[in-house]
Structure 1
């Protein structure tokens, strides 16, 4: 794969120019965009994935849901449906996508919708009888047809965007200059021990505008794994199989290794759609631990896995939580 990316390097300048020109057309108003008179918050990245968008959306839901009527709007990657879908009791990971289904399962007091056309999705959400006061756009940073009132750009500590180049050799969906559209940038998946000196170095390399805010966050892993009917403390786990279908499993693998846990790692591509043959193989693996996103896909129509299928919950912790929360609440109020 790395070799293929290297030989495709001559395409990089072409991709760069096409995406740069597209942004220029939107910036200058030649391509039309829709703005809104109510709070729309976009969470996204420049990279192709693995920056922690889902935990950030969940953080914002927890922050706002008790004071505002919140809705999430995602594309619904790899779903079998088309157009606008508002999650209801018949929703599954197949009909709305794994991440939206995760939101729907965890937060019963918000609306969860999917639509590849974000303009139409927002229109449909605001047309329902129930009032929507804040819309959280999941992975919509490059969706320039919608002008979010507040843009949160994520970049992972181990793959900061200023070290990367655009596709197909690099991982950036658009040139690094696109970061200037962000109101707030969060360096995610940092080590808990990151120093102020290192934060300062990263800040200087990111070259923020005067109106941009920078925060750092790290992942907090739970001390227990959860199944449909039970929980197990991490220190109760004997040898198990770790199953992941996410963009970057390294932080999770590192965490489990540091805990001295014994496991085999079965790794699938991001958003992998598990097949019956995969289920048959995993049935013989004994205890399975996976991510929450993978759990919603693995547990769907795979009752044979249920007794031994657990997920490890995570949440993000932001270094200057009070300032971050105030920035969000100031925008939505």
Structure 2
């Protein structure tokens, strides 16, 4: 079993540059604390999911967890920056919006949850305004901000900070020596902290050690999450050898090429090693756009592998691979995506869910959501709509 902090490497030669970087970040945060730079609250409930590190902490799977929690109860919108998209400004996606216009992660979310609203805008305040303006026909009840912990121009009602178990921020350093985008004390802005990618066999003592080491304030709550995998699904269903494998164990004995373009593929590789399979990793940078040279490398690497063989990739990578030209028929017929699901650990799933839903219900008094809810409740003096919907989570 891995231990917390085992993926962290510090380049001590760059610590002086980290100090300069931290000075700049610190000045910016002070300007927000002093009110020189303004953080704006909104009437519609806003939940931010983000991190303070470079690299993957599982933002998109956790956003998808929240979508599953709320989508059948209320009208959910996801607002993302749309990293590496080929468009600018505010873009409201529909089922026909190409990936290049909104980015791979928003595209993934929209196609997994076609009935929710997905939009992108680098200026989150403008994006929220467009999503909530009168007469737009969206009737949004709650907005999920993807990767917005550093975007302090918006003041969310719930600020969720994700921390990778293998890269605990308390052991890391600022860029460029380490991978922190902000000093460790930035975690104090979070209402909820989730330690992600935890081993499923984490011992009670380890939970307690991490809880103590994180040094959270009383207004903050700590949760732990791990993940499960659903059955692999074919990326190119029309040419796939098998449209879906019944379970993950069906991969036992196969030679697997693990094709990834994500920030932190280490955990996925570690999970697959539990199978009785030979893993051939082919890794690229996060949000990588596959070139002709990359395609040739993929084709040749897979052709050199012996049967039985298969290619596994992530859901985010699959959104880009479906548009790649030049993949061989053998690669297309053998390319499968491995869907991931988040699991809240320690029996705290119900508690976490209730905190999220309670915040949205309490702060949606003037929305269609609240009207639907209040239609079935008797009137009392405590349920009037006179209180503001911009109450922060820590005050709830």
TM (normalized to structure 1)? 0.95
User: Counterparts of 1:182-193 in structure 2 under 5 Å?
Assistant: 182-193=190-201
Give how far 1:3 is off: 10
Counterpart of 1:129? 137
Deviation at 1:20, TM superposition (A): 1.4
Asked whether 1:291 is paired with 2:314, we answer yes
Partner of 1:323: 351
1:140 alignment partner, one of 148, 151, 161: 148
1:311 aligns to 2:337 (yes or no):
yes
The aligned counterpart of 2:374 is none
Number of equivalences: 332
Q: Matches of 2:333 and 2:232 in 1, distance apart?
A: 16
Map of 1:57 onto structure 2: 63
Aligned partners of 1:38 and 1:283: how far apart in 2? 48
Q: Structure 2 residue aligned with 1:246, among 258, 262, 269?
A: 262
CA distance in 2, matches of 1:120, 1:272: 28
Change (3 A) 1:20 1:224: same
**What CA distance in whole angstroms lies between the structure 2 residues aligned with 1:321 and 1:4?**
34
Deviation at 1:239, TM superposition (A): 1.3
TM-score (norm 2): 0.80
**Counterpart in the other structure of 1:40:** 46
Distance in 1 between residues matched to 2:164 and 2:294, nearest whole Å: 30
Distance 2:283 2:353 in 1: 35
CA root-mean-square deviation: 1.8
Q: Which of the two has higher C-alpha Rg?
A: 2
Q: 1:289 aligns to what SS in structure 2?
A: strand
2:82 aligned with 1:71: no
Counterpart mapping for 1:83-122 below 5 A: 83-122=89-128
Report the Cα offset of residue 165 of structure 1: 1.3
Contact conserved, 2:70 with 2:76, CA < 8 A, in 1? yes
Give the corresponding residue for 2:385: none
Deviations 1:48-95, CA, capped at 9 Å, x for gaps: 121110100000000011111101011111111111111123322211
Alignment gaps of 5+ in structure 2: 1-7, 238-242, 304-309, 362-396
User: 1-side partners of 2:58 and 2:319: how far apart?
Assistant: 17
Q: Is the 8 A contact 1:299 1:306 kept in 2?
A: no
- What CA distance in whole angstroms lies between the structure 1 residues aligned with 2:212 and 2:176? 27
Task: Please give the per-residue CA displacement for 1:197-234, whole angstroms capped at 9, x wherever unaligned.
Answer: 11111111111110100000101122434334211244
Q: Distance in 1 between matches of 2:31 and 2:55?
A: 25
Question: Equivalent residue for 2:244?
Answer: 231
Structure 1: runs of 5+ lacking an equivalent: none
Shift of 1:108: 1.1
CA distance in 2, matches of 1:204, 1:236: 40
